[in-house]
Every structure is written in C-alpha cells, then in structure tokens.
C-alpha cells in the first residue's frame, strides 16, 4: 500500500510489542498460552528497498491465542497511522504467529516520524511503531548465507510469478455463495537449504490458504493442498457463506519452515481477490 508522506520510527529490539490492557490484566510473559481471550500484537519484521527507489515495511502479527480466530474490521480497533486507517492490513486473524502478511510502501526519505499499527482484541490494546532503523533492513528475496530464495507462485501456467512479500493483488476471481470456487496454483522452489537440515516435506513447497479479509466465513476443501512433485500444481476449493468482496492469503513455505524459520528470505505470500455474488 502506498503512503505519500510518512515518518521513520525508532523501534526497540523487541519484534512483539508489550500489552496495554483496557479492562483486563495483560498476559504475563511466563504465563501458559491460553486458547482465547488474549491480545493480538503487530509484528514489525523489517524494511527492504524496492527497485523504484521506495521502501517497503514488512509486517506480520502474533495472535497470542492458541485457538481463537478473530475478525477486527478496519477502524478504531484496527488502524495504521498516519495515512490510514486502512493501509492493507488484515481484518481476519489466525491463531499464533503469522509472517509477512502485508507490506506498506513508503518513500526512501521518510524523515523522522513513524508508522504505527494499533490493534484492540479481547479488550486489550497493542501498538507498535515501524521505521527505517538500519538495524532492521532485511533481504527478503535471498538468504545471504545459503543463497536460498523464496518459493515462486503462479496462478496460471504462464502467469506472472509472485515471490517473497505480498505485492498487490496476484489473482482475481468471481464466485457465488451457491457453488465452491476452484483455486489452482503452480508452486515451485529452488530447493536450496542448509546442508545440515533434512527436508520436512516430500515436495519442496508447503501451501497454506486462509481468509485475509471479507464479510463472511470461507471454508477451504483443503487448507493445505498437496503440491505436485513434477509441475508444482496444487488445487483446492473455497466456499463463501456471504456475498461481498474477499481477500484470500496464500502462503508458500519451503523446507525452512513457516516464516522461513524466522528468516525473511524463504517464504512467499500472495493475495487473491474474490468477488462473491
């Protein structure tokens, strides 16, 4: 998402911000994880340079709940400022840590301000500033040590490739509430990995579909469809409970595990728009 004038934030070494309870006690760091009732925290993962001279902030989140999935519409409880409240952030939050779910594009000379994502979940508010501290510059398209690159996704045989952090809308579909929508993708990877780590899957890419935004429920026939070894073809269907516009998220992980095992080099996120009638 483009933001015309924005400032640089000075951030701490903690990726996940502390909790600010509104009417309930915050979860202490050593408390056991709970199934529900806990906060969602923005996770600033770093910034990287774009070919056009702009800079992108890479952002994920940590839903502290083990099981509770929440929908938080854009507004007072889910806002990015300045320039927002809507800068492309998710409104549907899966449990636990989700990596690189969206990016915010800013000018390279952003000055000395900050971008802040504020979330209120289960009556607990968290917010985290994001900026261009040199210590937070990342290389999301290539691991400097191993040369590993993210998986590549295509939504048609000869379609444009998507690799690395999300960048706009990668595919668009129309659907109805009365029939499942078929989702087909081709996923490939360079298969580069640490020589001391055994592959976790028989195929080089693991796919995970999820709802990102939308007015109703989305049910996938297979949330993690099998990826063909030869061509990388993977197919599933999605059924929508309510008409409206949806965004779906497709994450592709290589053998370095979810979120690249903490490295920004080795996963890909794609956003798909579906208009449901």
Listed in sequence order, the residues at least 6 apart from 188 whose beta carbon sits closer than 8 Å to its beta carbon are 151, 152, 204, 205, 232
231/162 same-domain check: yes
95/176 same-domain check: no
114-139 pLDDT, tens digit per residue, is 899 999 999 999 999 999 988 888 88
Does residue 4 lie within any of the structural domains? no
Prediction pTM value = 0.84
118/161 same-domain check: no
52/122 same-domain check: yes
Angstrom distance (rounded) from CA 144 to CA 260 = 13
Ordered alpha helix ranges (H), the chain: none
Q: How many CA atoms lie within 13 A of 175 on its CB side?
A: 26
Does residue 3 lie within any of the structural domains? no
Does residue 142 lie within any of the structural domains? no
Q: Which two tokens stand for residue 273?
A: 């728009």
Is residue 129 within a helix (H) or strand (E), and if so which, with residue range? Answer: strand 124-130
Does residue 15 lie within any of the structural domains? no
Does residue 1 lie within any of the structural domains? no
Does residue 14 lie within any of the structural domains? no
180/69 same-domain check: no
Angstrom distance (rounded) from CA 90 to CA 104 = 12
Dihedral, CA atoms, 28, 34, 37, 40, nearest 10 degrees? 70
- Please tell me what DSSP assigns to residue 75: B
158/74 same-domain check: no
Q: Which domain holds residue 238?
A: 152-276
Structural domain total, the chain: 2
Residue 109 confidence (pLDDT): 77
CB of 226 closer than 8 Å to CB of 236: no
Does residue 86 lie within any of the structural domains? yes
Residue 16 confidence (pLDDT): 39
Decide which of 157 and 3 is more confident.
Answer: 157
59-87 pLDDT, tens digit per residue, is 999 999 999 999 999 999 999 999 989 99
Above pLDDT 90, what percent of the chain? 59
Residue 30 confidence (pLDDT): 54
Identify the domain boundary among 77, 105, 136.
136
163/122 same-domain check: no
154-178 pLDDT, tens digit per residue, is 999 889 999 999 989 999 999 999 9
Identify the domain boundary among 101, 136, 171.
136
112/161 same-domain check: no
pLDDT at 143 over 50: yes
CB of 81 closer than 8 Å to CB of 119: no
Domain of 189, CATH number, reads 2.60.40.10
Residue owning tokens 């483009």: 2
Task: Assign residue 75 a region (left: φ > 0; alpha: ψ between -120 and 50; beta: otherwise).
Answer: left
Q: Which two tokens stand for residue 44?
A: 């600033």
111/194 same-domain check: no
67/100 same-domain check: yes
Dihedral, CA atoms, 153, 159, 163, 168, nearest 10 degrees? -110
Does residue 225 lie within any of the structural domains? yes
Angstrom distance (rounded) from CA 52 to CA 47 = 15
170/112 same-domain check: no
Q: What are phi and psi of 222, to 5 degrees?
A: -135, 115
161/107 same-domain check: no
Identify the domain boundary among 110, 136, 162.
136
């Amino acid at each position: 998402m483009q933001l015309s004038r924005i400032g640089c934030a000075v951030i701490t070494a903690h990726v996940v911000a502390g909790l600010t309870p509104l009417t309930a006690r915050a979860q202490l760091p050593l408390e056991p994880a709970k199934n529900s009732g806990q906060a969602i925290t923005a996770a600033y993962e770093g910034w990287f340079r774009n070919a056009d001279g702009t800079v992108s902030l890479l952002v994920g989140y940590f839903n502290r709940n083990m099981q509770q999935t929440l929908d938080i519409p854009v507004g007072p409880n889910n806002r990015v400022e300045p320039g927002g409240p809507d800068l492309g952030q998710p409104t549907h939050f899966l449990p636990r840590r989700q990596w690189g779910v969206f990016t915010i594009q800013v000018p390279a000379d952003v000055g000395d301000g900050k971008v802040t994502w504020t979330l209120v979940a289960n009556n607990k508010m968290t917010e985290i500033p994001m900026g261009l501290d040199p210590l937070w510059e990342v290389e999301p398209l290539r691991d400097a040590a191993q040369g590993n690159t993210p998986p590549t996704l295509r939504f048609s045989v000869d379609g444009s490739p998507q690799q690395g952090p999300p960048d706009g809308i990668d595919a668009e579909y129309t659907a109805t509430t009365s029939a499942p929508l078929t989702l087909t993708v081709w996923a490939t990877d360079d298969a580069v990995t640490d020589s001391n780590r055994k592959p976790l899957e028989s195929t080089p890419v693991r796919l995970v579909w999820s709802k990102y935004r939308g007015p109703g429920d989305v049910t996938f026939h297979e949330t993690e469809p099998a990826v063909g070894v030869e061509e990388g073809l993977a197919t599933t269907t999605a059924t929508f409970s309510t008409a409206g516009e949806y965004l779906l998220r497709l994450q592709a992980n290589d053998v370095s595990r979810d979120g690249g095992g903490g490295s920004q080099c080795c996963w890909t996120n794609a956003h798909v728009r579906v208009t449901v009638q």
